[in-house]
């Protein structure tokens, strides 16, 4: 764990050593491929590492180690009323549900790693009912309840439905009900949640649940962009236009929330591969949707949000990424005849291009369709 912490911290403190620290952690992980199985702290270390460095390809290995440690069994046993809770049992279940949260969020655009994940998720509530409950358990349960909505939608929608023109009523009903479910989720979480994770006195620290809320709504409503090749495709489909408007509003809310948070921007230097994922999705969707839908929305408002995102990357030390975003913004501004304020663009040779910044796909380009929830069964559930 100490090696992982050093790697994450080095990104902000000594960025020139970041890759060497990451390579050192990679070596430590490879050493666990043979010999005794790692312990629970090792699993947590790998989860933190793959999350905060964007190395999501490690998820399959972490899942295999977690099942060897029987963490998935603890997640079910914790719900057995005849079983006495122990600190070890609860911590094992907590680790499994933490990994479920990561899988639900990270793999919306590709098959889930955990086999039969749905059978475990209903037991997460027993974490907050346990005598060994911790405040973080409220957050785990909140995220699971929210991302079950998007996971279920992912399993029900079919590619043929989304590409039909106009949208079929079955798809409209499913998208609408999912969007409404996310609204209900936010209302319930902000009214029932532990005060530590609910509201904040300062505007910059407003409800942190707004980011996953906006992310889920962006995902749900943004799916209708599938199969749209031109603005003419949208003109004859007003219902699809309304879904795209909602998606763009959610992308705007996500960027605004992160831009207004001093804490988020201060930590972005070392959290860029973790907290930057929803920001990346929001930017990606705006840049994909605006050339098609600019006649139906306010392009200036949305391009100003892209500028705010560029400022976040700029402050995080990714100047080239910020410049790339501004070039894309200027290109779309010219297309939409939108006047933007002048900006001073600087150049840096050491930054990472936006397309290579994250080890994640774009859900607009690489959606996995026609799969049940969860989509991929790799590891045994018993």
Task: Give the single-character DSSP code of 373.
Answer: S
Each residue of 116-144: pLDDT tens digit? Answer: 898 999 999 999 899 999 888 888 998 99
Check residue 341 and give its pLDDT.
66
Closest CA to 324 of 286, 353, 357: 353
307-329: average pLDDT: 90
Distance of CA 22 to the CA centre of its chain: 22
Distance of CA 122 to the CA centre of its chain: 21
* Domain regions of the chain by residue span: 157-370
Q: Which single residue is written with the structure tokens 């306010």?
A: 298
Check residue 272 and give its pLDDT.
76
CA-to-CA separations, 214 to 43, 105, 176, 182, in angstroms, rounded: 29, 13, 15, 9
pLDDT confidence band for 181 (50 / 70 / 90): very high
Check residue 357 and give its pLDDT.
43
| Mean per-residue pLDDT of the chain | 82
- The DSSP element (H or E) to which 308 belongs, if any, is helix 299-315
Task: Give the single-character DSSP code of 86.
Answer: -
Most confident of 73-77, 110-114, 223-227: 73-77
56-64: average pLDDT: 91
Q: What's the CA dihedral at 169, 174, 178, 181 to 10 degrees?
A: 90
% of the chain with per-residue pLDDT over 70:
84
pLDDT at position 360 over 80:
no
Check residue 121 and give its pLDDT.
92
pTM exceeds 0.95: no
CA-to-CA separations, 183 to 89, 190, 197, 223, 277, in angstroms, rounded: 33, 11, 18, 17, 22
């Amino acid at each position: 764990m100490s090696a992982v912490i050093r790697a994450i911290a080095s990104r902000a403190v000594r960025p020139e050593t970041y890759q060497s620290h990451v390579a050192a952690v990679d070596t430590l992980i490879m050493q666990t491929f043979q010999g005794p199985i790692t312990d629970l702290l090792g699993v947590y270390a790998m989860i933190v590492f793959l999350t905060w460095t964007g190395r999501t390809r490690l998820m399959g290995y972490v899942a295999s180690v977690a099942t060897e440690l029987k963490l998935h069994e603890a997640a079910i046993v914790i719900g057995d009323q005849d079983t006495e809770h122990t600190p070890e049992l609860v911590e094992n279940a907590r680790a499994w549900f933490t990994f479920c949260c990561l899988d639900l969020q990270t793999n919306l655009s590709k098959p889930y790693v955990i086999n039969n994940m749905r059978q475990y998720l209903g037991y997460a509530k027993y974490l907050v009912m346990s005598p060994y409950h911790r405040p973080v358990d409220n957050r785990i349960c909140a995220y699971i309840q929210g991302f079950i909505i998007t996971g279920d939608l992912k399993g029900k929608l079919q590619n043929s439905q989304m590409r039909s023109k106009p949208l079929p009523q079955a798809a409209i009903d499913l998208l609408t009900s999912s969007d409404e479910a996310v609204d209900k989720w936010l209302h319930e979480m902000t009214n029932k949640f532990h005060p530590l994770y609910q509201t904040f006195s300062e505007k910059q620290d407003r409800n942190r649940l707004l980011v996953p809320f906006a992310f889920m709504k962006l995902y749900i409503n943004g799916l209708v962009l599938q199969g749209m090749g031109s603005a003419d495709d949208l003109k004859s489909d007003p219902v699809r236009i309304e879904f795209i408007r909602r998606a763009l509003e959610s992308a705007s809310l996500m960027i605004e929330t992160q831009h207004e948070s001093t804490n988020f921007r201060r930590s972005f230097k070392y959290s860029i591969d973790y907290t930057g994922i929803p920001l990346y999705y929001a930017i990606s969707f705006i840049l994909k949707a605006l050339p098609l839908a600019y006649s139906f929305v306010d392009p200036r408002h949305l391009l100003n949000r892209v500028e705010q995102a560029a400022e976040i990357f700029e402050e995080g030390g990714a100047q080239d990424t910020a410049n790339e975003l501004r070039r894309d913004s200027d290109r779309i501004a010219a297309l939409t005849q939108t006047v933007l304020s002048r900006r001073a663009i600087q150049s840096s040779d050491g930054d990472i291009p936006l397309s290579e910044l994250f080890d994640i796909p774009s859900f607009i380009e690489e959606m996995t369709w026609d799969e049940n929830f969860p989509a991929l069964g790799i590891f045994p559930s018993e």
